[in-house]
Amino acid sequence: MRLRRLGARGMFLGVLAGVLAGYSVLSWDMAWRMPSGQIGPGFFPRLIGVAALVLCLVALWRHDPGDGADTGADTGAGADTGARADTGAPTHPPLLAGAVCACVGFFVLLAVAGALVGGVVFLSGALMLLNPGRRRLVGNAAVGVGLPVTLYVLFERVLDAQLPSGIF
């Protein structure tokens, strides 16, 4: 059967490409520019949707179902890759649960404290969770504060696009 030859990764990329195509089509219904000349609500969704769709299609085109990536055959015992050799299932459920909780917390914090504070807290916390260690503390802090501040300045000051300000 043809679907079997795609492998699990190929089928995932195919479904993801379909979802991204739908997202891109929906983004074309939003205005590219506002009557005042500012960028409209469809500007970034169009860019993100088309870029993500192109990257997904390239990954699908380059996908080789015979390389063993779908079966876990080349992963050895799985201790170094974070996956079990027999099933390919992740072996880090607490880390996954922490990442999901951090994402939910980010959306709550975004509504309460705003984009700048929410971005700093979320990114700093996620980096500490996913990239722990004393040697990485300074780099994590610099990225955790620097990236949200840079994005805030870019959107609020340069592009004059409103970010969530929270209730404060």
Q: Is 163 strand, coil or helix? A: coil
Task: Report the distance separating Cα 8 and Cα 81, nearest Å.
Answer: 18
Q: 126-148: per-residue pLDDT in tens?
A: 888 887 777 788 888 899 999 99
- pLDDT (average), residues 3-9: 67
Query: Which DSSP symbol is given to 164?
Result: P
Query: Which DSSP symbol is given to 66?
Result: G
SS3 assignment for 67-85: HCCCCCHHHCCCCCCCECC
Q: Is 60 strand, coil or helix? A: helix
Q: 37-92: per-residue pLDDT in tens?
A: 778 888 888 899 899 999 988 988 887 766 655 454 444 444 445 555 555 555 67
Q: Where are the domains of the chain?
A: 2-75, 93-158
Mean pLDDT of the chain: 79
Is 27 a residue whose pLDDT tops 90?
Answer: no
Task: Report the distance separating Cα 83 and Cα 91, nearest Å.
Answer: 6
Q: What is the pLDDT of residue 51?
A: 92
Is 112 a residue whose pLDDT tops 80?
Answer: yes
Q: How far is CA 73 from the centre of its chain?
A: 27
Q: Residues 60, 17: contact at Cβ < 8 Å?
A: yes
